[in-house]
Structure 1
Amino acid sequence: MTVNEVASSGESGLSAPLGQQRGVVYRVYTNCWFQIVLMSFICFCCPGMYNALTGMGGSGQVDPTVAANATVALLAATAGTALFMVGPIFNRVGPRVCLLLGGWTYPLYAGSLLCFNATANGAFVIASGAILGIGASFLWVSQGAIMTTYVPESQKGRAIAVFWVIFNLGGGVGSLASFGMNYNSTSGTVSDGTYIALLIIMAVGWLLGSFICPPASVRLAELQPSPESDKNWRKTAMMSLRAIMDWRVLCMLPLFFCANVFYSYQQNIVNGMTFNIRTRSLNGAFYWMAQMVGGLTMGLILDIPGLSRPIRARIGWVFLVVTGMAIWGGGYAFQLWLDDRMATGLKQDIDYKDGSISTGPIFLYIFYGAYDSFWQSYCYWLMGARSNSPAVAAVLVGAYKTFQSTGGAMAWRINALAEPAMSQLAMNWGLCMGALMIAIPSVLAVTVTSNTEPTEEQETKEVCVEPK
């Protein structure tokens, strides 16, 4: 054996374990479930902490008007960018760049509220809300494309459930932290420390976006990446138009419109006008934890083994109708009671220790949180049933965020104009039930096939294995 052969064999002996080790790390990194969990933790840190803020009513301020107007600006910006701007950009640059473009806007918004505590600069809060709306478009389009296409057909309900649990854990943890930091507060507004803590966590979430894997590297049989030759603006625009104008998608648009329409009423009236600041924080934790349970429940329903996908689609729809009528019916009784209290000048006074007077409203707020997760999980599942292409999924999620934000902006503006609370409740209840009726053709269309419709795009070959 020559010196070169010895050196060569020595190098092989040393490098093989390193190569195998690198292979294991890379396979874990490109595993679809690792990416789902990573995306979930990004949302835990960014929109999860944002939810902790808004869930306190008025983003933790005594006067909710500035926060409501900032939310209107946020949702209007999201509605204007999610579909026609972010979807095509996502198709060109992928989820990692989109997350880095959008993630920094979350700590900016938390910083604007910190500034407002010191300077009462409402214009900065509203401007930050508008900027966050654009950033949120990048984040949510990326999240939706990952969640609905990175896992096999039989695991999509579970992927939604896992995401919803981790994501809403952010809102729950953030709200509990706020509860502890404001336990002895008598000012009616949260402390500076609350805003600083949430800002830091949001910044961490932004940095985590740099670890998201591009679709072409994900190990999944059903994933259908767009060929490089199709990544031009004209073909992207035509693909987007075809995806949106499908009649099954058009029937889903009212569902999308209603996905955030009830937040303003629930957060600023049910929670914000009923309870004191520490109880609002505690209720926020319960609300987002209920979303964890709700997302898990709907995910399990939509992945029931032994039932075809068409049957699961119908069961999910019936579940939404029945639970919606029960929860909104309870909300009507609560609103009659709250109107009587506010007529006598009682507001923002109920503490969680007040016994029977606080128990019913707290549980109602918990059920509202669960219903939100039922609704949004079902919407994502229906979108996932349409295509396994990340490019098409990005367009559908863009449409979802556009109409969701349009509905939310309308509702927050109505709330900012101080329309009667009973009118807001009636609007939310009526819109939700009406949207479910309009969606019936889309739900029934799932019965046409038990598999996501194929596209002309090339499929990858390696199967994603769910980690044990």
Structure 2
Amino acid sequence: MEDGTRHADAADSVVHANEDGKRSIFYQIYTHCWFQIILISFICFCCPGMYNALAGLGGSGQVDQTVAANATVALLAATAATALFVVGPIFDRVGPRVCLLLATKNGAFVIAAGAILGVGASFLWVAQGAIMTTYVKESQKGRAIAAFWIIFNLGGGVGSLASFGLNYHSKSGTVSDGTYIALLIIMAIGWLLGLLICPPSSVRVSQLQATPQSEKNWRKTARQALNTMTDWRVLCMLPLFFSANVFYSYQQNVVNGMTFNIRTRSLNGALYWIAQMLGGLIIGLILDMPGFNRPTRARIGWGFLFVTGMVIWGGGYAFQKWSDRRMAAGLKQDIDYTEGSLSVGPIFLYIFYGAYDAFWQSFCYWLMGARSNSPAETAITVGAYKTFQATGGAMAWRINALKKPAMTQFAMDWGLCMGSLVIAIPAVLAVTLTSDPNSEAGEGRDAGDSMDKSDREVKA
């Protein structure tokens, strides 16, 4: 059985090699899995990356945070309503390019714009998640997630640094009009890059389980969605998904937005997204560690997430007690980064919050990628991820808009994160050696390793 599988893989590799020989160098590069990963990363650099740069300032750069918080509630509610039941099933019918072009390029500064942006965000994130978690070999999925997370969050970092420069001498407490215009132009460029995304059937990776055109119909798509959402492993991951953005409102509007002045908030935003880049690299390397099989890496990743979470949120508890005392004394939005004795601790806490967000979301994506190598099935799982992630985020932003006590928001976030990690344990323990149906479950290596060996045999 093993030899037969290897010979079949070798034959497929020869066929692909012959087909590639007839294609131009440009086409071979364009359809390479890593080119598509990098392309979707730069699209997210331009679009949600710039949005994150603005949102990370606290109140989207305004003194009154209530309108921005309610707009974010509308955005996330619209995302939650469409990601799973609308966009997930649509992805397999129309492909990632159409999904990305349907994604809006507007910013969310009023509630109506927030809702429109939320619908577009569903199309963007479902397509992005399916591409990132299925277009590379199983042994490289951690690295693919890390590469995406670095480039995507570079957008937030660059945007925040630009805002820092534009608002360096500002005394108003709000960002300049030039900041908004510059970010919107970059978002428009990202939308146009969506034209370069190619369909899954054209991507050159042997394990990809693309849906045959003859099997694409709404009945089978609906059945696949139902089967995916009733899988007990997915059900165990739903609380993990729900908690994936639940801490943004507290971190951005309370920790950053209510503690620092506008230029320091801009600087912190840059550091937060740069920390995301480093965090994505760290967790990506952990989840692709050589010498460990995939189930072991899943357990190590979970343990890393739990330990770092307890340490970082524990530091956050100390900060929040200190912040409550300052707020009671009437001190808010007053700390500048030059005040070392006051600013260093909170700034580093905010940096660690950024890194932990990268740990969390990268681990979620890796778990989804460990379930299946099918873009259609993964799109549904990603749709569920975005639906529950947006639902949790909308709930948290609404609580923030209602001006609930900061300590209440903090306790809710910490409790949800650690509790959802515990509930996800069965799904983590259920991670298998491979998701490739053509590989034997009893083999003591990942499918990526098997395919690498087949490739070496073909070259020999």
Q: With structure 1 as the length reference, what TM-score do the two structures score? A: 0.89
Separation of aligned partners in 2, 1:72 and 1:146: 27
Question: Residue 113 of structure 2 aligns to which amino acid in structure 1?
Answer: S
Of all paired residues, the percent bearing the same amino acid is 78
Give the Cα separation in 2 of the matches to 1:383 and 1:336: 37
Which of the residues 148, 154, 173 maps onto 1:163? 148
For residue 274 of structure 2, the aligned residue among 285, 289, 292 is 289
Candidates 331, 353, 356, aligned match of 1:346: 331
| Matched letter for residue 109 of structure 1 | G
- CA-to-aligned-CA distance 1:283-316 (integer Å, 9 cap, x gap): 0000000000000000000000010101100000
Asked if 1:303 corresponds to 2:303, the answer is: no
Partner of 1:372: 357
Equivalences for residues 197-276 of structure 1 within 5 A: 197-276=182-261
Helix, strand or coil: the match of 1:296? helix
Q: CA RMSD in A?
A: 1.6
**Aligned equivalents of 1:186 and 1:287: distance in 2?**
23
Structure 2 unaligned segments of length 5 or more: list them.
Answer: 1-19, 439-450, 456-460
Alignment check: 8 A CA contact 1:386 1:453 kept = no
Report what 1:46 is aligned to: 47
1:219-252 alpha-carbon deviations (Å, 9 max, x no partner): 0011011111221111101100101110011000
Q: How far did residue 109 of structure 1 move? A: 1.7
Q: 2:368 aligns with which of 380, 383, 407?
A: 383
2:278 is the alignment partner of 1:277: no
| Partner in structure 1 of residue 164 of structure 2 | 179
Instruction: State the Cα distance separating 1:28 from its structure 2 match.
Output: 0.4
The whole-number CA distance in structure 2 between the counterparts of 1:283 and 1:214 is 38
Say if 1:284 and 1:21 are closer, same or farther in 2 by CA, change over 3 A: farther
Paired position in structure 2 for 1:452? 435
Q: Residue by residue, what CA displacement relative to the aligned partner does 1:160-217 show, whole Å, maximum 9, x if unpaired?
A: 0000000000000000000000000011110000000000000000000000011000
2 CA distance for matches of 1:235 and 1:451? 25
- Secondary structure (helix, strand or coil) at the match of 1:109 reads coil
**Structure 2 equivalent of residue 418 of structure 1:** 403
Matched, 1:360 2:342: no
Question: C-alpha displacement at 1:20, in angstroms?
Answer: 7.2
Alpha-carbon distance, 1:454 to partner:
2.5
State the alpha-carbon separation in 2 of the partners of residues 87 and 445 from structure 1: 24
Offset from partner CA, 1:270-292 (integer Å, 9 cap, x none): 00000000000000000000000
Distance 2:310 2:210 in 1: 41
Structure 1: where are the runs of 5+ without partners? 1-18, 114-124, 456-461
- Please give the alpha-carbon distance, in whole angstroms, between the structure 2 residues aligned to 1:234 and 1:20: 38
Distance 1:388 1:58 in 2: 39
Contact 2:261 2:335 in 1 (8 A): yes
Tell me, in whole angstroms, the C-alpha distance in 2 between the residues paired with 1:376 and 1:283: 20
Do 1:44 and 1:167's aligned partners in 2 also have CA atoms closer than 8 Å?
yes
Aligned match of 1:194 in 179, 197, 203? Answer: 179
Deviation at 1:22, TM superposition (A): 5.6
Instruction: State the AA in 2 paired with 1:27.
Output: Q
SS of the residue 1:224 aligns to: coil
Structure 2 residue identity aligned to 1:356: S
Contact 1:83 1:399 in 2 (8 A): yes
Give the TM-score, by structure 2 length.
0.90
Kindly indicate whether the alpha-carbon contact (under 8 Å) linking 1:387 and 1:454 is maintained by their aligned counterparts in 2.
Answer: no
Residues in 1 aligned to 2:419 and 2:53: alpha-carbon distance in whole angstroms: 29
Pair 1:28-2:13 in alignment: no
Kindly provide the CA deviation profile for residues 134-177 of structure 1, in whole angstroms up to 9, marking residues without a partner as x. Answer: 00000000000000000000100000000000000000000000
Per the alignment, residue 322 of structure 1 pairs with 307
The one-letter amino acid paired with 1:161 is A
Match of 2:125 in 1: 140
Work out whether residues 168 and 288 of structure 1, in 8 Å CA contact, stay in contact via their aligned partners in 2. Answer: yes
Contact 2:207/2:436 (<8 A) preserved? no
Q: Distance in 2 between matches of 1:441 and 1:284?
A: 35
In structure 1, the residue matched to 2:57 is 56
| Structure 1 residue 349: Cα displacement | 0.2
Measure the CA separation in 2 of the matches of 1:292 and 1:445: 29
- Residue 437 of structure 2 aligns with an amino acid whose one-letter code is P
* Alignment length (residue pairs): 424
Provide the rounded CA distance (Å) in 1 between the counterparts of 2:376 and 2:341.
51
Instruction: Give the 4+ runs in structure 1 shifted more than 2 A.
Output: 19-22, 462-465
CA distance in 1, matches of 2:194, 2:393: 26
Between the aligned partners of 1:452 and 1:169, the Cα distance in structure 2 is 31
Instruction: For residue 433 of structure 1, give the secondary structure of its aligned residue in structure 2.
Output: helix
Secondary structure of residue in 1 paired with 2:24: helix
For residues 53 and 174 of structure 2, the distance between their equivalents in structure 1, rounded to whole angstroms, comes to 14
Note if contact 1:293-1:370 (Cα within 8 Å) is conserved in structure 2.
yes
* AA at the equivalent of 1:454: P
Amino acid at match of 1:337: W
